[in-house]
Amino acid sequence: MIVYLLLVLFAATFLVLIVKRDEIAIIAILFSFFSMCYMFMNPEIMVFGFGGWSPPFGIVWVLDKLNVFLALLVTGISSVIAVYSLKYIKERRHRYYTLLCLITIGLLGVSLTGDIFNLYVFFEILSVSSYALVAFFLNEHAIEGAFKYLMVGSMTSLFILIGIAMLYGLTGTLNFADLASKISHDPPYMVALGLLVAGFSLKATIVPFHAWKPDAIEGTPAPIGAIFTSVSTAIGVYGILRILFIFNLIQINWVLILFGAITMLLGALMALVQVNVKRMLAYSGVSQIGYVIMVIGFGTLLGITSGLYHILNNALIKTLLFMGIGIGIYLTGKENLNEMGMKNTPLLICVGIGLLSLSGIPPLNGFVSKWLIFMASWEISPMLTAIAIIASALTLAYSFKIFSAMFLANRKIEAKVPKILLIPVIILTALCVFIGVFPQAGLNMIEPAVNALLNQNQYITAVFGG
């Protein structure tokens, strides 16, 4: 099944360029989403070996509830973006869809593989397609942003490669399950862990690895900005979680708590003073991922549950906002908040709900995960809860700035929004409200993923065939 999924996506990547039909990419991405829905229903851990080699010698893809949850999120967001981009991207669309397929392959590969070097290969596919997508508009901002991302990204890729080489040198294996059974907590292993965590921190945009993001997102098409702030950062967090899982270090981790708290506050403060709407959302993405990193650092059941829940909510909200505000950019041709005043009631409602949800206002999905985050941090230290509440207040402040500039400004253009742009935004808004009203539905998705993360032995047993 997984081989066909990869084949379909790779074939679509090239077919779009050859046949020049963008619909092929959309169908392939939708196919991957429905495949992931099917796999999510399966209660067992699924192991797929490549090339007839059995683990730990051959490459395996291991589908446990954690990475299938991530893959479902990746393909779901990619599907919505693929449909939306059909209207949003006006020129060189075939190249755009080729790159969109490639970035989806990269994200899927990183999340589903059970081999650390294979993870690196897909991480590079993801990175290279990301650099190209940042430079897609080929204007001054786009090329500058792509170059910065390329330089910083190359350095952290090198850190990941050195970390993998160290682990291979120390244990003689690349398989996650095999690594987990051979790893110790001696200083050389910890140095490798530090290098890998630092490497994945760039994708997760943890301070001080975050600086590339606003520059890159400023130049990129709005739907790709949505990928960077939602699923790409989620994959960075997944990388850190998987490495901690291999090291059996899902426990209280003050390094993550410290970096998470700083990221949360600094991202929100920087978002507050931005004038370019895409830069503001980029910093907002940095701030939201700070919450996730902090609570994952707690290592508690509630901490990890709230972290994964916030990954889900942040992905939905950020995609909604990037696509909603992207419509504003599409219609006005401006990204400066002072020049984006527009009049459109459905868009006002959708973006308004997105911003309220981002700020954690009940009864929307952002509130649910933030409430869980506050509870989780209260268990560790009330001081951390206070920091999280301050960051949340700052989020409300910059959300108001966006809403005011877009919909309450004096100068407004009467805007008629194309339906194909509005429908994906409405779907995401409905999901935000639905999860807010029925939080148990989201929790039912998260709980198996948390259990998979906390049960290392089950994973090892599944890979080696019991």
Partner 1 sequence: MFEQWSLFALAFMGFIFLGFLIYMLGNRKSRKEEMKYETYTCGEPFPKVSIGVENFYHAVKRSLGIKDLRSHHSGRISDYLIWVVIGTVIVILLTVVWV
Which residue carries 């006005």 as its tokens?
332
Looking at the Cβ atoms of 60 and 256, the one nearer to partner 1 is 256
Single out the residue of 91, 97, 203, 202 nearest to residue 139, CA to CA: 91
Chosen residue from 3, 258, 301, 383 binding partner 1 by CB under 8 A = 258
Chosen residue from 19, 138, 275, 393 binding partner 1 by CB under 8 A = 275
What's the min distance (Å) between Cβ of 11 and partner 1?
37
Looking at the Cβ atoms of 124 and 218, the one nearer to partner 1 is 218
Q: Give the x-and-dash track for 376-405 against partner 1 (CB under 8 A).
A: ---------------------x---x--xx
Taking 3-state DSSP, the helix, strand and coil percentages for the chain, each rounded to the nearest 5, stand at: 80, 5, 20
Looking at the Cβ atoms of 64 and 215, the one nearer to partner 1 is 215
Pick out residues in 178-207 that bind partner 1 (CB under 8 A).
185, 187, 190-191, 193-195, 197-198, 201-202, 207
Single out the residue of 298, 353, 288, 366 nearest to residue 323, CA to CA: 353
Residue 278 in the binding site for partner 1 (CB under 8 A): no
Chosen residue from 138, 151, 165, 301 binding partner 1 by CB under 8 A = 151
What's the min distance (Å) between Cβ of 198 and partner 1?
4
Chosen residue from 3, 155, 386, 393 binding partner 1 by CB under 8 A = 155
Q: How far apart are CA 192 and CA 116, in angstroms?
A: 13
What's the min distance (Å) between Cβ of 256 and partner 1?
10
CB distance 365 to 384 below 8 Å: no
Q: Give the x-and-dash track for 289-328 against partner 1 (CB under 8 A).
A: ----------------------------------------
The region of 46-54, 61-69, 127-135, 144-152 touching partner 1 under the rule CB under 8 A is 144-152
Residue 356 in the binding site for partner 1 (CB under 8 A): no
- Helix or strand (DSSP H, E) at 37: helix 23-41
Looking at the Cβ atoms of 22 and 218, the one nearer to partner 1 is 218
What's the min distance (Å) between Cβ of 378 and partner 1?
15
Chosen residue from 212, 322, 330, 459 binding partner 1 by CB under 8 A = 212
Looking at the Cβ atoms of 167 and 202, the one nearer to partner 1 is 202
Residue 45 amino acid letter: I
Residue 456 in the binding site for partner 1 (CB under 8 A): no
* Tally of CB atoms within 10 A around 194: 13
CB distance 164 to 174 below 8 Å: yes
Q: How far apart are CA 396 and CA 412, in angstroms?
A: 23
Residue 410 in the binding site for partner 1 (CB under 8 A): yes
Q: Report residue 44 as tokens.
A: 């067992």
Residue 426 in the binding site for partner 1 (CB under 8 A): no
> 274: alpha, beta or left, given left = phi > 0 and alpha = psi -120 to 50?
beta
Residue 345 in the binding site for partner 1 (CB under 8 A): no
Q: Report residue 75 as tokens.
A: 């393909």
Looking at the Cβ atoms of 198 and 454, the one nearer to partner 1 is 198
First-to-final CA distance of the chain:
22
CB distance 324 to 394 below 8 Å: no
Map 235-296 to HEC letters: HHHHHHHHHHHHCCCCCCCHHHHHHHHHHHHHHHHHHHCCCEHHHHHHHHHHHHHHHHHHHH
**CA geometry: angle at 306 spanning 305 and 307, to 5°?**
90
Positions touching partner 1 (CB under 8 A) are 147-148, 151-152, 155-156, 159, 185, 187, 190-191, 193-195, 197-198, 201-202, 207-209, 211-212, 214-215, 249, 253-255, 258-259, 266, 269-270, 272-273, 275, 336-338, 362-363, 368, 397, 401, 404-405, 409-410, 436-440, 443
